[in-house]
Homo-oligomer: A and B are copies of this chain.
Amino acid sequence: MAQRRPTLPPALTRGHDHHQCVHDALVEAERLCAGRDVRLTELRKRVLELIWASHAPVGAYAIMDLLRGEGRNAMPPTVYRALDFLLEQRLIHRIASLNAYIGCTHPGDRHAMQYLICKTCGTVAEIDNPAIDEAIAVTTGGLGFAPDSQTLEVSGICRDCRDAAR
């Protein structure tokens, strides 16, 4: 098994082409859904795009307002059903401590959720450190606990905000 290197979180990658980044995420989503034989409908795709467009976690009701802003008469179930689909397909994640949703940066491979949440600017960075997973596996294994999903949400202040504060 190839060792994964910790990925540099997009939100911490200054000056990236955000438009391109959203586009790539949509293309990848199309590809994955086609391969899984599930339908990335217009609505689902639009919700995914709105989530990616912010690059920060978005609440369900914020998404609803955005949809309404474009003339669609969106009610909560409409949004939540789209979110449920995207969550199931692991194209987005839910950040429980924020009641908000964010695009998954590597939706192809099943993986644990690991997030750094900046309290100051609100950006969230998805990290991917195998060492964390291993440490968790040691503990769960020792206790006979069979994990099937997890979320790690670290709240703090990102480098940019710390630099700006000085």
Which chain A residues have a beta carbon within 8 Å of chain B's beta carbons? 6, 9, 12, 96-97, 114, 116, 118-119, 125, 127, 129, 131-132, 134-136, 138-140, 142-159, 162
Contact = CB atoms under 8 A, between A and B. Distances in A.
B148 A156 contact: yes
Nearest to A115: B150
A97 B9 CA distance: 23
Contact of A157 (B97, B142, B146, B154): B146
Contacts of A142: 6
A160 to B, nearest CB: 8
25 contacts: A9-B143, A116-B140, A116-B143, A116-B145, A116-B147, A127-B143, A129-B135, A131-B135, A131-B139, A132-B136, A132-B139, A136-B152, A136-B154, A140-B156, A143-B159, A144-B158, A144-B162, A145-B156, A146-B156, A146-B157, A148-B155, A148-B156, A149-B156, A151-B151, A152-B153
Contacts of A131: 135, 138-139
Contact of A144 (B127, B129, B148, B159): B159
Nearest to A12: B143
A70 B148 CA distance: 39
Contacts of A155: 147-150
A150 B136 CA distance: 15
Nearest to A144: B159
A24 B6 CA distance: 42
A158 B155 CA distance: 28
